[in-house]
Structure 1
């Protein structure tokens, strides 16, 4: 056992990225998850509860919640600021004061987050005939949960907090299968249906009343230059009232999907689409003959074809 310990310790001494030992100089993933759950209680006060808060007074409950979240969030932001060149060499008191200001600015964004989320609930209810109620949407729909966590992370991103926004949306990615970068800009009435395998890149711009089905990618056209592309507009712009059906890939920073367009399932779009267009792909049908020999027959499609879910 001692020999193994010495071998592993020796392996820690190479100075590589993986050898970083500063465990207390980076945000705590478990605390970030706790912050997410407590923020959900603030955003949806009638749907998320904590056994420790048994008071009937909404004022008292909210005061305790905000105090708890602000305490944890301020400490995590203070640590995260070590990854900001502006604060990396600053004294602890400087980062603490900056984190306090960011926290206050962030909590003033709560009404805005709730305003957007209320429209997301409405869009989901209007767009999904399988929804029995809005309560079902809030309590059971992973698409709304992923959107809610994105909304809270996006406001931190706009306040230029390092690491934490991405940690929040990657938590949502793990639990819902929806990967929305906190840097993406998404308008009101956003609806994700069947929330699995969806990717929204960091420089994406999405308008209002946009509907996205499972397996959709709103991504970069090419990443062969790697990190050299950091900060550039690499992801598409999706205008208002657009529907993206399952498996569609919309790629490229110069790609604009015009208002009111419908992108059919499994489409691969790398150039701009005019407003009120319908994009589909030609498919083939497998037909078995008398001797079980497969034949391919092209399906006829008209301009009104789209996926039926």
Structure 2
């Protein structure tokens, strides 16, 4: 190497020493994101047999196929959970055998939730089909809808989150976030028949609680009123609660852990809400005054001030 390259190498090595929190050298307890994404894809094949396979899934062989996939998931997910646990301060005192035993138990607990995840996702498919006149089949929803993909990954990540598995739920949820622009924290609680329409730009925070039959559109934020206290807010309810049968239209922001959107409420687009909304209420922002050139004032816009997508 020439002198310039040597100088650059030495400067990079110095930065490693300076910022040790961004390096994991000579350590094996770092999870493999690529492996986790592969595991997630196998889980999706379990959840929706025949949809994401390269070849036809024959019904007479489905028992073998499911068993083979579970074996793949069990082997790879156990190793990744073990790595995540070994990187967690709470598990520092555990031996290698204890970590592996704990990891295996967690994998089996997760796998036992697959039927329940399918139950929830089946209702989400129904909600999407019933709620979107542009949907021509449930196959279209499962194969094409980014909102449904984000919900699927959330349902998986949420079960891992409930098992208190470090890091891995966030890796999965941020993978879906990167692909869809939909950010659902795995710690959020979301009921059945959940529908995200369009979806880009949606944010659902960690302590959000969402009931059943809720529909939200693109650009909705269910966030914290303030995160100024940073880590002091860990575990504190800081995101809103959305009751059953609520619709939230595009661009709306709802903030705060004490904010509750009552059952059956409808929130129009671009609203900014930091206080609770009573049951059955319709909330909307009146259209700003429009100016036309040439003067088209005879086109009465006021009658359209309240409308729904």
* TM-score, scaled relative to structure 2: 0.92
Deviates more, 1:24-33 or 1:44-53: 44-53
Residue 215 of structure 1, CA deviation: 0.4
Inter-partner Cα distance in structure 2 for 1:223 and 1:11: 30
- Contact 1:82–1:89 under 8 Å retained in 2: no
User: What residue in structure 1 maps to residue 83 of structure 2?
Assistant: 79
Residue 306 of structure 1, CA deviation: 3.5
For the residue of structure 2 that corresponds to 1:170, the secondary structure is helix
User: What residue in structure 1 maps to residue 43 of structure 2?
Assistant: 39
Structure 1, unpaired ranges of 5+: none
Residue 46 of structure 1, CA deviation: 2.2
* TM-score, scaled relative to structure 1: 0.92
Residues 269, 301 of structure 1: alpha-carbon distance in 2 compared, 3 angstrom cutoff = farther
Residue 9 of structure 1, CA deviation: 1.5
Residues 298, 135 of structure 1: alpha-carbon distance in 2 compared, 3 angstrom cutoff = closer
Inter-partner Cα distance in structure 2 for 1:53 and 1:102: 29
Residues 30, 261 of structure 1: alpha-carbon distance in 2 compared, 3 angstrom cutoff = same
- Contact 2:271–2:285 under 8 Å retained in 1: yes
Inter-partner Cα distance in structure 2 for 1:239 and 1:5: 56
1:205 aligns with 2:209: yes
Residues 272, 127 of structure 1: alpha-carbon distance in 2 compared, 3 angstrom cutoff = same
For the residue of structure 2 that corresponds to 1:285, the secondary structure is coil
1:282 aligns with 2:286: yes
1:148 aligns with 2:149: no
Structure 2, unpaired ranges of 5+: none
User: What residue in structure 1 maps to residue 22 of structure 2?
Assistant: 18
Inter-partner Cα distance in structure 1 for 2:39 and 2:117: 15
Residues 85, 282 of structure 1: alpha-carbon distance in 2 compared, 3 angstrom cutoff = same
Inter-partner Cα distance in structure 2 for 1:11 and 1:194: 43
Match of 1:192 among 154, 177, 196: 196
Residue 25 of structure 1, CA deviation: 1.5
- Contact 2:205–2:223 under 8 Å retained in 1: yes
1:109 aligns with 2:110: no
1:7 aligns with 2:8: no
Residue 251 of structure 1, CA deviation: 0.5
Inter-partner Cα distance in structure 2 for 1:10 and 1:182: 37
1:180 aligns with 2:184: yes
Residue 8 of structure 1, CA deviation: 1.5
Inter-partner Cα distance in structure 2 for 1:281 and 1:116: 34
1:239 aligns with 2:243: yes
- Contact 1:138–1:144 under 8 Å retained in 2: yes
Provide Cα deviations, 1:141-197, integer angstroms capped at 9, x if missing partner. 011110000000000000000000010000000011110000000000000000211
- Contact 2:24–2:30 under 8 Å retained in 1: no
Count of matched residue pairs? 303
1:161 aligns with 2:165: yes
